[in-house]
């Protein structure tokens, strides 16, 4: 088994422990010769992972499994993506350090149809029906250093003294110089987005993610909800 295949298998096993099955689930890699998984009737969740080894993950739940997950979540009002996020985070953590973006319910995901995707059937022992389907497609490209999710200290040293500013923007506005100079304590400045809208996460001025502002130990923070692909980022 290759290093990449071992990480993918570990990711499937990690996810399986978070599913509300009656016992340990068997994680079986579906051979590509078996064809594309029939996703009709499945509840499908996907999430992007950005880190040492970036990847796309998808989870397909048959109706019975989706019902068990909702029961385990304790409320039908809680989105399935929120209930299963810890499991997908555990799976993604097997790929290396990184951040899992927003877990969204979609129909249908292209991941299951891509021959480059590793698709696992998660089944209860002795059962002929899948308890869930798990798909993982690596975005890693390049040589051995990237394939193992590692960078040498010599290469990291090239950017050791380079400053990168990470900023969070909750909104913007336009005003004239006269309006700016007339500001006084207590004035309220209207921003260009409604309350509850996601904040922008910028690295050196480039939009790389969206998130929500949170309070951690009486200090502000941002919970990342979506990592943007390079095609989605703007200056």
In CATH terms, the superfamily for domain 163-227 is SpoA-like (2.30.330.10)
pTM: 0.61
- Residue range 3-147 forms a domain whose CATH class is alpha beta
Q: Are 51 and 95 within 8 A, CB to CB?
A: yes
Question: What integer pLDDT is reported at residue 141 of this predicted model?
Answer: 46
Q: What is the 3-state secondary structure (H, E, C) of 111-170?
A: HHHCCCCEEEEEECCCCCCCCEEEEEEECCCCCHHHHCCCCCHHHHHHHCCCCCCEEEEC
What residue spans in the chain does CATH classification 3.40.1550.10 cover? 3-147
Residues of the chain with pLDDT under 50: 141-150, 235
Question: What integer pLDDT is reported at residue 147 of this predicted model?
Answer: 39
What residue spans in the chain does CATH classification 2.30.330.10 cover? 163-227
Q: Are 168 and 100 within 8 A, CB to CB?
A: no
d(CA 110, CA 112): 6
Question: What integer pLDDT is reported at residue 59 of this predicted model?
Answer: 93
Question: What integer pLDDT is reported at residue 142 of this predicted model?
Answer: 43
Q: Identify any residues that bridge with 202 across adjacent strands, giving them in sequence order.
A: 167, 207
Question: What integer pLDDT is reported at residue 220 of this predicted model?
Answer: 85
Question: What integer pLDDT is reported at residue 145 of this predicted model?
Answer: 38
Question: What integer pLDDT is reported at residue 32 of this predicted model?
Answer: 65
């Amino acid at each position: 088994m290759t290093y990449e295949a071992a990480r993918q298998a570990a990711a499937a096993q990690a996810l399986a422990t978070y599913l509300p099955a009656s016992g340990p689930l068997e994680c079986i890699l579906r051979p590509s010769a078996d064809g594309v998984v029939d996703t009709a009737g499945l509840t499908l969740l996907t999430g992007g992972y950005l880190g040492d080894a970036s990847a796309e993950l998808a989870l397909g739940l048959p109706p019975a499994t989706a019902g068990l997950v909702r029961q385990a979540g304790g409320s039908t009002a809680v989105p399935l993506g929120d209930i299963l996020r810890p499991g997908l985070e555990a799976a993604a953590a097997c790929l290396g350090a990184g951040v899992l973006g927003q877990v969204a319910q979609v129909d249908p995901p292209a991941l299951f149809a891509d021959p480059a995707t590793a698709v696992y059937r998660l089944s209860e022992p002795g059962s002929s029906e899948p308890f869930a389907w798990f798909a993982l497609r690596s975005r890693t490209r390049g040589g051995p250093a990237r394939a193992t999710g590692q960078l040498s200290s010599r290469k990291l040293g090239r950017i050791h003294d380079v400053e990168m500013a990470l900023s969070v923007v909750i909104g913007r506005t336009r005003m004239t110089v006269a309006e700016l100079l007339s500001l006084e304590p207590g004035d309220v400045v209207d921003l260009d987005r409604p309350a509850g809208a996601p904040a922008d996460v910028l690295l050196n001025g480039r939009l790389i993610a969206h998130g929500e502002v949170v309070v951690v130990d009486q200090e502000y923070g941002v919970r990342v909800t979506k990592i943007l692909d390079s095609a989605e980022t703007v200056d």
